[in-house]
Structure 1
Amino acid sequence: MKSKGKSAILFFLSILLIGFLAYSGVYGVTIGDYRLKPFSEVINKGLDLQGGVSILEEIQGDKVDKETLDKTVELLSMRVNKMGVSETVVTKEGQKRIRIEVPGKFDAKEVVDGVAKTGELKFVGPDKSVILTGKDVKKATAYYDQDGKATIGLELNDAGTKKFADATQKFMGQVISITMDDQVLTAPSVGAHITDGKAVINGSKTIEEAKREANIINSGALPVTVKNVESKVVGASLGANALPLSILAGEVGIGIVLLFMLLYYRIPGLLADIALILFVYIVLATFANINATLTLSGIAAFLLTVGMAVDANVLIFERIKEELKSGKSVKSSIDTGFNRALSSIIDSNTTTIISGIILYSLGSGTVKGFALTLIIGVVISMFTAIVVTRFLVKLAANMGWLNNKWAIGTFGVHDYRKGVV
């Protein structure tokens, strides 16, 4: 009786928590001065959902190496992000082309002019004076220091060495900002009078961040000439029609899945539905937290992962049925069913994740969006199926909810009640 009561408390607390999360995700919740925003307000929408500008830039030149292409992409990203549109997408297309998508902007000329300018790197003192420009920098290198921290080593030419020596003496203990197109790249404090033209910039969180900043400092401006070869404006009407229809399709699809699981598997199906609601919440919350951009292809991948999440539950419940047919008790059948279905679930989802990684690595634009959503959804579906559904089913078994054929939807399984433990 103690175990039954404890299971009942845990079960209803779990239902309340999942219900609260689902409600906050749809409508938002205000707690005192803090507001949990609904997903409709926090998830970025792509170009195909809210309209905007899409341009294709091509690097001029016969041979463009990967390093040059990466530098150009990084600098173009900085420039378009200055427009205040966090959902901007800058991706490589082929060996020489770069696709830039700016949702919410409808002036193609403004975007094209913004990315085509030469660019200017500056070292700016606390008094707003320009100390150095990109012409004064000989080389910037990213590396790990003796303490294992990501660091940028800076080497200046003769003219830059003299200017920097004067500046570090003048601004000792103050901040010198390094900017690109007037956007602050990093802002280190002066810790020593540097006379040899070799400086160290600390503060990078990762070696990747240090490499990115070093690349920008090295380039000083766009390392190549880029030419606009295509520009188009996607009307907001497309997104206005596509988004509501996509949401409707998702609601209908998920609703049918929930109804099928409930009618066919009864109580376990209901528990799987609850886990599926949590799955939807976690996927959308992940999208919001990683600042991902949702597109039509991403919505398609999301709905696909809903089906895959249910598929894992179907495998588990059918395994449980087989165990019940062999005369095992409910609790024993649940444990064995989950364990035996585990290998199939992991195998099938692992192959899907590998496919998603390949698509993300080799694809571009909408293909990357589809692949990213697919990978996130599959990983989370494994968690909800293996952990959450199992937790709820075991609580239901402890409460005695699965002690008859109707409750578990066994359809032809013999009467196993005498085997209950």
Structure 2
Amino acid sequence: MLHIPLWKRVLIFGLCALGLLTAAPNLFYSRVEAHNDAIAAAEKAGFETPEQAAARAGWPDWLPSGLVNLGLDLRGGAHLLAEVNVAEVYKARMDDLWPELRKALAAERATIGAVRRAPGPQDELHVQIGTPEQMAKAVAIAKSLSTPVVTLTGVGQSDLAITASGDELIVSLSEAEKAATDDRTIQQSLEIIRRRVDEVGTREPTIQREGEDRILIQVPGIGSAAELKALIGTTAKLTFNSVKGRGSNPDAAPGLGNAVLPSADENGIYYTIDTTPVVTGEELTTARPEFDQNGRPAVGFKFNTSGARKFGEYTAANVGQPFAIVLDGKVISAPVINQAIPGGSGIITGNFTVEESTNLAVLLRAGALPAGMTFLEERTIGPELGQDSIDAGRIAAVVGFAAVVGLMVASYGFFGFLASVALCLNVAMLFGVLSMIGGTLTLPGIAGIVLTMGMAVDANVLVFERIKEELKNAKGPARAIEKGYQMAMSAIVDANITTLIAAIILFVLGSGPVRGFAVTLAVGIVTSVFTALSVTRLLVVIWFAWRRPKTITV
């Protein structure tokens, strides 16, 4: 009875020590943060300034340096809710289609007659033909320019909806293509915004889709909403460059006019490219997932007039050679030119899945926002307000902790004191786990910590009350303690599993601060069960082995 093997004791104390060690950097938040920022800046620049060296020396390198990230409501920062104007994409598609359709119809001028673009809604292309009797032929020509809509579930209906009214041919995007275009537009916008925000080194930004056509952007640590809007408006650097070589040495001499860039997808692979681009992302008009002639997923792209001319001349002179698609200083793809591409439209083939081709199309279009955005909501949370939230949360946590400890000691005496010691370790381990996983602490997260304190001692209350019942049944103290933990186990596990399920549902269905609360609650459940069933029990066993009491009072 009341025996815990040595290996289990070492494991329990070891986990507690690890939790305390990983949580310790949060007690010196500013110093450790400066240490981490200095290391990151030096690695990015390739050298270290004296100021960075001093900041790095402020915290020992051999100690853990993980921190709990502070959310927008605690650190301060900017909050934006943007609506993506997807209708602009429909208009751009129709404008891009018109030259191609005009050329195809002009080839049949003898029967169709003269063609011209007529006024119409922005998301529709109205074409007036000279011979209305030949409208069926004009419709067939327009349909020949359509392509199947590619989705993750396969090939669907045509991307163009074509009708006729009198002497006018009316072309618009089909409903399936509009839905696919909306999704691509939002995903491209998310990718662009995420890349722009990540460049400035902000911590734990929240960038996610809200509803059909809105994007929520929350960036802690940035000065103002106006600064964030300016940052989002920046254009990504997308270029198409000729490839001079491929290898695994990042320090290889590239030669005059060349550069060595890492591959985005192939670890340890570097490409030597000509720094003068063949074409740039500003000349790319579209990129979308398609299927090649063999039915395999691929990515189709198209340049504007100037880009098509330059790309056509380059591909004609470099058949069989690879060219690099470079996005933000990384080679995201390096396909081989199979044939000359004079029309400005091409296809990138490879061992893609449909999802990979869709993602590559997103990356290709990530050079510029695919559509304008209207900012519906702007908020700037100053660091002073964030500090006020931290102070208020700290006071709430301290008051809650003191109340719980006071109640436990008053109710259960020395056993309540041992439960309070375990509670301290529980909070420390909670912060340690959040630091290791890079979790973000928000104001609702602090509420989750306070809730965890109450739930942690709730398990001890069940155990102690069960020990009382066993003592009333004339059991000896050792047997009563042993039975108390055994009989309360199922109730503790059941209660915490149901709460953990609720936390998982909040995380999956929630967003922003709700997720922060869910993460804190879930981690707190795990640490509180561990401390209640292992740490408190070990402390009771050590005390009992030391004192050997004939009777106990709980």
> TM-score interval w.r.t. the shorter chain?
0.7 to 0.9
Instruction: Describe how 1:101-180 pairs up with structure 2 within 5 A.
Output: 101-117=218-234, 119=236, 121-123=238-240, 126-130=273-277, 135=284, 155=299, 163=315, 166=318, 169=321, 178-179=326-327
Q: Which moved more, 1:22-31 or 1:320-329?
A: 22-31
Gap change, CA 1:19 and 1:102, over 3 Å in 2: closer
Q: Which residue of 2 aligns with 1:417?
A: none
- Tell me by how many angstroms 1:60 deviates: 2.2
1:305 equivalent to 2:448? Answer: no
- Tell me by how many angstroms 1:11 deviates: 11
Q: Which residue of 2 aligns with 1:50?
A: 75
Q: Which residue of 2 aligns with 1:195?
A: 338
- Tell me by how many angstroms 1:238 deviates: 1.0
Gap change, CA 1:214 and 1:111, over 3 Å in 2: same
**Which of residues 187, 202, 214 is equivalent to 2:360?**
214
Instruction: Describe how 1:376-415 pairs up with structure 2 within 5 A.
Output: 376-397=523-544, 399-401=545-547, 403-405=549-551, 409-410=553-554
Sequence identity (%) = 34
- Tell me by how many angstroms 1:366 deviates: 2.0
Contact 2:22–2:436 (CA under 8 A) maintained in structure 1: no
1:268 equivalent to 2:415? Answer: yes
**Which of residues 427, 431, 434 is equivalent to 1:287?**
434
The CA distance in 2 between the partners of 1:224 and 1:377, in whole Å, is 42
Gap change, CA 1:387 and 1:25, over 3 Å in 2: farther
Q: Which residue of 2 aligns with 1:246?
A: 393
- TM (norm. structure 2) is 0.57
Q: Which residue of 2 aligns with 1:413?
A: none
- Tell me by how many angstroms 1:57 deviates: 0.5
Q: Which residue of 2 aligns with 1:145?
A: none
For structure 1, the residue ranges without an aligned partner over 5 or more in a row are 142-151, 411-421
| SS of residue paired to 1:34 | coil
Q: Which residue of 2 aligns with 1:24?
A: 24
Q: State the Cα deviation string for residues 167-192 of structure 1 (Å, max 9, x = none).
A: 98478xxxx5741xx264x667x7x9
Higher Cα Rg: structure 1 or 2?
Answer: 2
Gap change, CA 1:115 and 1:385, over 3 Å in 2: same
The CA distance in 1 between the partners of 2:358 and 2:421, in whole Å, is 43
For structure 2, the residue ranges without an aligned partner over 5 or more in a row are 33-57, 88-177, 244-272, 291-295, 303-307, 340-346
Q: Structure 2: which amino acid aligns with 1:107?
A: S
The CA distance in 1 between the partners of 2:539 and 2:18, in whole Å, is 12
Q: Which residue of 1 aligns with 2:62?
A: 34
- Tell me by how many angstroms 1:85 deviates: 0.8
Q: Structure 2: which amino acid aligns with 1:115?
A: I
Contact 2:83–2:375 (CA under 8 A) maintained in structure 1: yes
Q: Structure 2: which amino acid aligns with 1:47?
A: L
| SS of residue paired to 1:56 | strand
1:59 equivalent to 2:202? Answer: no
Contact 1:71–1:219 (CA under 8 A) maintained in structure 2: yes
- Tell me by how many angstroms 1:293 deviates: 2.1
The CA distance in 2 between the partners of 1:17 and 1:34, in whole Å, is 16
- Tell me by how many angstroms 1:393 deviates: 2.7
- Tell me by how many angstroms 1:154 deviates: 5.5
1:296 equivalent to 2:443? Answer: yes
The CA distance in 1 between the partners of 2:528 and 2:320, in whole Å, is 55
**Which of residues 277, 281, 290 is equivalent to 2:424?**
277
Q: Structure 1: which amino acid aligns with 2:75?
A: Q
Gap change, CA 1:304 and 1:195, over 3 Å in 2: same
- Tell me by how many angstroms 1:320 deviates: 2.0
1:319 equivalent to 2:466? Answer: yes
The CA distance in 1 between the partners of 2:480 and 2:426, in whole Å, is 25
Q: Which residue of 2 aligns with 1:358?
A: 505
Gap change, CA 1:325 and 1:22, over 3 Å in 2: farther
The CA distance in 1 between the partners of 2:416 and 2:391, in whole Å, is 29
- Tell me by how many angstroms 1:104 deviates: 2.0
The CA distance in 2 between the partners of 1:12 and 1:229, in whole Å, is 51
Contact 1:60–1:227 (CA under 8 A) maintained in structure 2: yes
Gap change, CA 1:71 and 1:376, over 3 Å in 2: farther
Contact 1:330–1:402 (CA under 8 A) maintained in structure 2: no
1:85 equivalent to 2:209? Answer: no
Contact 1:165–1:193 (CA under 8 A) maintained in structure 2: no
Over the aligned positions, Cα root-mean-square deviation in angstroms equals 4.2
Q: State the Cα deviation string for residues 207-235 of structure 1 (Å, max 9, x = none).
A: 9x968953632544444432211212222
The CA distance in 1 between the partners of 2:316 and 2:549, in whole Å, is 80
Q: State the Cα deviation string for residues 326-383 of structure 1 (Å, max 9, x = none).
A: 2233343333322322222222222222222232233332222222222222222222
The CA distance in 2 between the partners of 1:5 and 1:370, in whole Å, is 36
Gap change, CA 1:20 and 1:103, over 3 Å in 2: closer
Q: Which residue of 1 aligns with 2:217?
A: 100
The CA distance in 2 between the partners of 1:211 and 1:68, in whole Å, is 15
Q: How many residues align?
A: 379
The CA distance in 2 between the partners of 1:115 and 1:364, in whole Å, is 21
The CA distance in 1 between the partners of 2:424 and 2:22, in whole Å, is 7
Gap change, CA 1:298 and 1:201, over 3 Å in 2: farther
Q: Which residue of 2 aligns with 1:144?
A: none
| SS of residue paired to 2:413 | helix
Contact 1:305–1:381 (CA under 8 A) maintained in structure 2: yes
Q: Which residue of 1 aligns with 2:106?
A: none
Q: Which moved more, 1:212-221 or 1:287-296?
A: 212-221
Q: State the Cα deviation string for residues 214-259 of structure 1 (Å, max 9, x = none).
A: 3632544444432211212222221222212321221232133233
Q: Which residue of 1 aligns with 2:260?
A: none
| SS of residue paired to 1:130 | coil
Gap change, CA 1:27 and 1:155, over 3 Å in 2: closer
Q: Which residue of 1 aligns with 2:479?
A: 332
The CA distance in 1 between the partners of 2:537 and 2:239, in whole Å, is 58
Contact 1:57–1:230 (CA under 8 A) maintained in structure 2: yes
Q: Which residue of 2 aligns with 1:147?
A: none
Contact 1:73–1:91 (CA under 8 A) maintained in structure 2: yes
Gap change, CA 1:212 and 1:262, over 3 Å in 2: farther
| SS of residue paired to 2:448 | helix
- Tell me by how many angstroms 1:300 deviates: 0.9
Q: Structure 2: which amino acid aligns with 1:106?
A: G
Gap change, CA 1:357 and 1:131, over 3 Å in 2: farther
The CA distance in 2 between the partners of 1:75 and 1:5, in whole Å, is 55
- Tell me by how many angstroms 1:311 deviates: 0.8
